[in-house]
């Protein structure tokens, strides 16, 4: 624990800390460009120079290890002159185009030039200019502004694990580019926009949209996957203009997946902004009153189990509880949130720990053996994948995977696509799991959403016992979810015996007469001609195609909501903008509908609804990781695991939900990155 | 073709030189001999550190292309990717190396890659005269002569300051040059000869011009 003095303040920092960190511990701000807490140290921008006693020159504090007895001066004349000099050099080749630069107002270079620069330039010569580089549909480049901090290069190499950004050339001719100017293919590529301390890499979809001070900033939770990344919605008027990550070391650190960043841009497209009623096969725009009357007509005479409900992937806890209560009033308990037919939770494995990512997202990076079962975390949860990658890089964790071979951004030993291998794991896997101190088994929805899903879950549960995966201070049983609303739905028991397949089968046989589709767009509702279908949701996607009544609802950014992520973390998001047109918050729709149907639900505002939820589900009452502890579970009447090869949940990372499908950026990413169709962007521009 | 169109074509050609054809080198493979040499270079480094051989392999590949095209060789994209695959490196990392070092050519060069040092000592000792002599032979900076024989690049210090001015032509250094000796060397190369590398004034390595001035008893 070295002790050193910073501006007369004595600080003690952990072994291995840098002088820069010591200065921060002493409450001193050190300007920097290349240094970033979550990336390796480069020491190439020189902005963090400080004066140190017994050192003949100012030292780069980010790269200098703190040691005993150092005396650092961060506000001396030497330090001041060093900073001014570095800033002057940086600005020699930096254009003075702040007025037309998207980084303006949130630019490190701008701020630091103001605080630490000389205020005027002595440079009279020509500045260098660099041609723009194409980096795909997400990243806009103005490379003349680049100061070569190499944060983007280090991020691509270290965190994203897709080495495609580099610095070519040397000296004054050094340029940052992707290899041969191809589109960046990482699912995390948008983060280089946040990392770039200047306006060299900016957001292409957000180009020239707004200035940061014009935006209203609202805390939200990303719903594009089940990680529950903490985000900030930046909105102006009715529109969410951009989504940025918030720092939460337990969940997303400070990264955000590209889908989380640009999927929500689909919120302005294909919206349901008025109720619709289907008449003679055609949808007619209607008033709420007419729509409710139509629902009442459709449900009249139906009782109990003839009415069902399926909740989609982007539905929050409050909405589902309200729908569940409404169904209960109608005498039905046929509500289902496992839209993809995943066999877990509910009647299959009631214990909460049986459907959670028990290891936790942050602790996963300390795992020493990881077994992936039918899961491609790179697409299903990019920010869980970065944790596994960290475990591999840092502790040389061994990764085994069952499923079709894909590039996970780290080395994995592939065991084929046959899930029956779970019953007879190869000796290498057995040895690794036996010898591991912190083994983690991760089962994906692709392995559970099959007819033998319960059997797979049972087989994984057997692994828990065989290899003692649950031990003191460590739980290695993990279910990787893909839907943001899923764990919340399972927590409130939004499940029905037999799942979606039973509901659809009953609908076909005539035992089920009416079906609420609550943002459920991933099931084929076209196959249910005799069923009265009520779609409650925000996007005109697959679900509305065959709906008889459409009730327009608020999206995740347009309501206060509770989300439970895959590790069971309860998080609240706030309303960033208002729902468009006549759309209303989901719970309010069900409350109003209950009035029309005869017996009103017992809550009139969000507080009352949340109080009602807290009474029945105390786990969901407060934000934070809701832990119930491990409880062994068994799976009754399980089916045998079939040798049919396992498939992953997604065939297209960018098109997994109605909002992302509506997002132009996601469509472009899908075309360019996955289908190699480079013409799309030019056609669009 | 009318004179007007001819000149416009010539003009366009000069402004935007033809893009090198990278695809001509698709499916690049080592020759048998070079495959052995590459394996030897990789074996120099410990297990797991094979990436260290990247510079040697790029040089080897450039020379192989040189033999193949009867030039000094260059590194087309398929060749860079071939080396990257052999060393299990991301393409961009190899491309960074190839673009960083000036000895790797990222575009085709002529049979003789003439590199003229123009840094201060050479300039003071008359590198401008050498440049003029080259220009008189039709060799222009940054261009390859129409017969494909010479490509001229002006470079920074090659470390031959004591024998300034100098030219590096392929793997040979020609030192103590003036306009006449430069012209003589170029003519000889064009005629297919290999002029004697080293000092063109006859002095030995970088001894003082006109023979030793100290420690004479040791040279007798």
Q: Do B91 and A165 touch (CB under 8 A)?
A: no
How many CB atoms sit inside 10 A of residue A643's CB? 11
- The answer to whether the beta carbons of residues A308 and A326 sit under 8 Å apart is no
In chain A, where are the structural domains located? 3-92, 108-268, 276-347+486-625, 358-480
Q: Supply the DSSP symbol for A205.
A: T
Is the per-residue pLDDT at B145 higher than 80? yes
For residue A340, give both structure tokens: 């993809």
Residues of chain B with CATH 1.10.10: 32-100
CB spacing of B93 vs A163 below 8 angstroms: yes
Label residue B18 by pLDDT band (50, 70, 90).
low
In angstroms, the CA B66 to CA B60 distance is 10
> How close does chain B come to A198, measured CA to CA in Å?
23
A413 vs chain B: nearest CA distance in angstroms? 17
* Chain B residues whose beta carbon lies within 8 Å of the beta carbon of residue A155: none
A170/B92 Cβ within 8 A = no
Interface membership of B95 toward A (CB under 8 Å): yes
B93 touches chain A (CB under 8 A): yes
- Split at pLDDT 50, 70, 90, the class of B5 is very low
Q: Which of A72, A43, A85, A75 is nearest to A60 (CA)?
A: A43
Q: Residue A684's pLDDT is what? A: 44
Are residues A170 and B95, on separate chains, in Cβ contact within 8 Å? no
Residues 6+ apart with CB under 8 A from A232: A217, A218, A219, A220, A243, A244, A245, A246
Buried b (16+ CB within 10 A) or exposed e, B110-136: bbbbbbbbbbebbeebbbeebbebbee
Same fold, A108-268 and A358-480: no
- In CATH terms, the fold of domain A358-480 is Dimethylsulfoxide Reductase; domain 2 (3.40.228)
Peptide bond into A446 cis (omega under 30): no
CA-to-CA distance for A187 and A389, rounded, in angstroms?
14
Q: Where in chain B is the domain with CATH 3.40.30.10?
A: 112-199
Burial A156-174 (b: 16+ CB within 10 A, else e): bbbbbbbbbbbbbeeeeeb
Out of B92, B100, B101, the one facing A179 most closely (by C-beta) is B92
Distance from A177 to chain B by nearest Cα, in Å?
Answer: 9
Contact between chains at B92 and A169 (C-beta distance less than 8 A) = no
Q: What residue ranges of chain A have pLDDT lower than 70?
A: 527, 678-685
Evaluate whether A348 touches A449 at the Cβ level (below 8 Å). no
| Token code pair at residue A195 | 């990392």
Q: pLDDT averaged over chain B?
A: 88
Query: Residues 61 to 90 of B: which have CB under 8 A from any A CB?
Result: 77, 90
Q: Tell me how close the Cα of A664 comes to any Cα of chain B, in angstroms.
A: 29
pLDDT confidence of residue B8: 35
Query: What CATH number was assigned to the domain covering residues A3-92?
Result: 3.10.20.740
Cβ contact A163–B100 (<8 Å): no
Identify the closest residue of chain A to B91 by CA–CA distance. A179
Give the single-character DSSP code of A159.
I
Radius of gyration of chain B (CA): 21
Chain A residues close to B91, C-beta within 8 Å: 164, 179-180
The interface pTM score, or ipTM, of the predicted complex is 0.90
- Out of B77, B90, B99, name the one closest to residue A163 (CB): B90
Q: Are A109 and A198 spatial neighbours (Cβ–Cβ below 8 Å)?
A: yes
pLDDT of residue B219: 63
Residues of B in contact with A168 (CB under 8 A): 95-96, 99-100
With residue A465 as reference, give the H or E element that holds it: helix A453-466
Query: How far is it, in rounded angstroms, from Cα A190 to Cα A492?
Result: 34
Kindly report the CATH class assigned to A276-347+486-625: alpha beta
Distance (Å) from the alpha carbon of B217 to chain A's nearest alpha carbon: 46
Burial of A470 (0-12, 13-18, 19+ CB in 10 A): middle
Q: In this complex, which of B77, B91, B99 lies closest to A169 when CB atoms are compared? A: B99
For residue B156, the distance in angstroms to the closest alpha carbon of chain A comes to: 13
Could you tell me the CA-to-CA distances from A356 to A351, A529, A627 in Å, in that order?
Answer: 10, 36, 10
Please list every residue in chain B whose beta carbon sits closer than 8 Å to the beta carbon of residue A185.
Answer: none
CA distance B97 to A129: 22
Assigned architecture for domain A108-268: 2-Layer Sandwich (3.30)
Q: How far apart are CA A59 and CA A53, in angstroms?
A: 10
Q: What is the pTM of this model?
A: 0.92
- Spatial separation of the C-alpha atoms in residues A525 and A547, rounded to whole Å: 8
Cα separation, A523 vs A35, whole angstroms:
47
**What does A540-597 look like in DSSP terms, one character per residue?**
-SGGGTT-SEEEEB--GGGS-EEEE-TT-EEEEE---SPPSTT-B-HHHHHHHHHHHH
A180 contacts B100? CB cut-off 8 A = no
Of the candidates A166, A169, A178, which has its C-beta nearest B93's C-beta? A166
Which residue, among A121, A588, A50, A668, has the nearest Cα to A322 in the 3D structure? A588
Q: Does B45 contact chain A (CB < 8 Å)?
A: no
Interface size A-B, in CB pairs within 8 Å, comes to 29
Q: Say how far apart CA A469 and CA A395 lie, in whole Å.
A: 19
Interface test with B, best of A180, A186, A409 (most B CBs within 10 A): A180
Q: Does the pLDDT at position B1 exceed 60? A: no
Domain B32-100 coded CATH 3.30.1490: no
- CATH no. for B112-199: 3.40.30.10
The strand pairing partners of A242, in sequence order, are A234
Question: Are the C-beta atoms of A562 and A571 separated by less than 8 Å?
Answer: yes
Please, is A14 exposed, middle or buried when counting C-beta atoms within 10 Å of its C-beta (0-12, 13-18, 19+)? exposed
Binding residues of B for [2Fe-2S] cluster: 117, 122, 157, 161
Residue of A153, A179, A185 to mutate, interface with B, max B Cβ within 10 Å: A179
Cα gap A312→A307, rounded to integer Å: 17
- A174: nearest CA in chain B? B100
Nearest Cα of chain B lies from the Cα of A154 at a distance, in angstroms, of: 12
Are A168 and B91 within 8 A, CB to CB? no
> Cα distance from B90 to chain A (closest Cα, Å)?
6
DSSP H or E run through A194: helix A191-195
Selecting from A166, A169, A170 the residue whose C-beta is nearest the C-beta of B92 gives A166
């Amino acid at each position: 624990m070295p002790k050193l003095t910073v501006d007369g303040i004595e600080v003690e920092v952990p072994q291995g800390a840098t002088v820069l960190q010591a200065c921060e511990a002493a409450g001193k701000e050190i300007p920097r460009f290349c240094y970033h807490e979550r990336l390796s140290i480069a020491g190439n921008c020189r902005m963090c120079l400080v004066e140190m006693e017994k050192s003949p020159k100012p030292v780069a504090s980010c790269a200098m290890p703190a040691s005993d007895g150092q005396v650092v001066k961060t506000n001396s004349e030497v330090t001041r002159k060093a900073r001014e000099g570095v800033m002057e050099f940086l600005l020699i080749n930096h254009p003075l185009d702040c007025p037309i630069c998207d980084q303006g107002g949130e630019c490190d270079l701008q701020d630091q030039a103001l605080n630490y620069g000389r205020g005027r330039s002595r440079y009279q010569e020509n500045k260098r200019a660099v041609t723009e580089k194409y980096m795909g549909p997400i990243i806009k480049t103005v490379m003349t502004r680049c100061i070569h901090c190499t944060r983007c290069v280090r991020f691509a190499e270290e965190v994203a694990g897709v080495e495609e950004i580099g610095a070519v050339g040397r000296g004054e001719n050094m340029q940052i580019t992707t290899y041969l100017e191809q589109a960046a293919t990482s699912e995390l590529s948008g983060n280089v926009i946040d990392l770039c301390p200047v306006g060299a890499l900016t957001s292409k979809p957000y180009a020239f949209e707004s200035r940061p001070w014009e935006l209203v900033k609202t805390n939200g939770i990303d719903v594009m996957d089940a990680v529950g990344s903490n985000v900030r919605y930046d909105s102006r008027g009715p529109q969410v203009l951009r989504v940025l990550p918030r720092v939460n070391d337990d969940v997303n650190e400070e990264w955000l997946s590209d889908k989380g960043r640009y999927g929500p841009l689909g919120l302005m497209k294909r919206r349901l902004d008025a109720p619709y009623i289907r008449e003679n096969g055609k949808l007619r725009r209607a008033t709420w009153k007419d729509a409710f009357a139509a629902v009442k007509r459709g449900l009249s005479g139906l009782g109990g189990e003839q009415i069902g409900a399926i909740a989609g992937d982007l539905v929050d806890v409050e909405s589902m509880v309200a729908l569940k209560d409404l169904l209960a009033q109608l005498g039905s308990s046929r509500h289902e949130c496992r839209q993809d037919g995943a066999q877990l939770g509910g009647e299959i494995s009631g214990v909460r720990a049986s459907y959670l990512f028990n290891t936790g997202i942050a602790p996963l990076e300390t795992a020493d053996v990881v077994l992936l079962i039918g899961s491609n975390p790179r697409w299903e949860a990019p920010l869980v994948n970065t944790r596994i990658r960290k475990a591999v890089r840092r502790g040389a964790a061994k990764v085994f995977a069952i499923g079709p071979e894909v590039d996970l951004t780290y080395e994995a030993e592939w065991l084929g696509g046959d899930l029956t291998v779970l019953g007879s794991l190869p000796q290498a896997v057995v040895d690794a799991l036996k010898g591991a101190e912190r083994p983690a088994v991760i089962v994906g929805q692709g392995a559970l959403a099959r007819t033998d899903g319960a059997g797979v879950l049972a087989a994984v549960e057997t692994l828990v016992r065989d290899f003692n995966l649950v031990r003191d201070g460590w739980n290695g049983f993990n279910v990787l979810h893909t839907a943001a609303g899923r764990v919340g739905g399972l927590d409130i028991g939004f499940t029905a015996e037999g799942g979606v397949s039973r509901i659809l089968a009953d609908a076909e046989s005539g035992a089920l007469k009416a079906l609420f589709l609550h943002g459920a767009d991933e099931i084929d509702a076209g196959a249910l001609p005799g069923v009265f279908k009520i779609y409650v949701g925000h996007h005109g996607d697959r679900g509305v195609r065959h709906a008889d009544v459409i009730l327009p609802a608020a999206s995740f950014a347009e309501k206060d909501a509770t989300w439970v992520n895959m590790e069971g973390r309860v998080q609240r998001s706030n309303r960033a903008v208002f729902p468009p047109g006549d759309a209303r918050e989901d719970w309010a729709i069900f409350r109003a509908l209950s009035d029309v149907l005869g017996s009103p639900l017992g809550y009139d505002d969000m507080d009352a609804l949340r109080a009602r939820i807290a009474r029945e589900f105390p786990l969901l009452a407060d934000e934070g990781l809701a832990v119930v502890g491990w409880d062994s579970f068994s799976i009754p009447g399980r089916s045998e695991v079939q040798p049919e090869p396992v498939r992953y949940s997604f065939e297209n990372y960018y098109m997994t939900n109605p909002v992302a499908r509506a997002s132009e950026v996601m469509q472009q990413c899908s075309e360019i990155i996955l289908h190699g169709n480079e013409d799309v962007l030019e056609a669009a521009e | 073709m009318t004179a007007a169109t001819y000149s416009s074509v010539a003009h366009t050609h000069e402004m935007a030189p033809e893009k090198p054809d990278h695809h001509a080198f698709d499916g690049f493979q080592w020759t048998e001999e070079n495959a052995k040499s590459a394996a030897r270079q990789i074996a120099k480094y410990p297990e797991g550190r094979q990436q260290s051989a990247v510079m040697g392999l790029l040089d080897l590949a450039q020379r192989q292309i040189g033999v193949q095209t009867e030039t000094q060789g260059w590194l087309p994209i398929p060749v860079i990717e071939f080396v990257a695959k052999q060393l299990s490196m991301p393409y961009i990392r190899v491309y960074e190396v190839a673009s960083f070092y000036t000895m790797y050519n990222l575009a085709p060069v002529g049979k003789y890659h003439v590199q003229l040092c123009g840094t201060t000592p050479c300039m003071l000792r008359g590198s401008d005269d050498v440049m003029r002599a080259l220009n008189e032979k039709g060799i222009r900076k940054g261009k390859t002569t129409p017969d494909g024989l010479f490509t001229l690049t002006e470079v920074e210090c090659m470390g031959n300051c004591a024998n300034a001015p100098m030219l590096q032509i392929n793997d040979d250094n020609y030192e103590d040059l003036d306009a006449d000796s430069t012209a003589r060397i170029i003519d000889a190369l064009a005629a297919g000869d290999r002029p004697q590398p080293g000092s063109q004034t006859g002095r030995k390595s970088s001894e003082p011009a006109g023979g030793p001035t100290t420690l004479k008893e040791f040279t007798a």
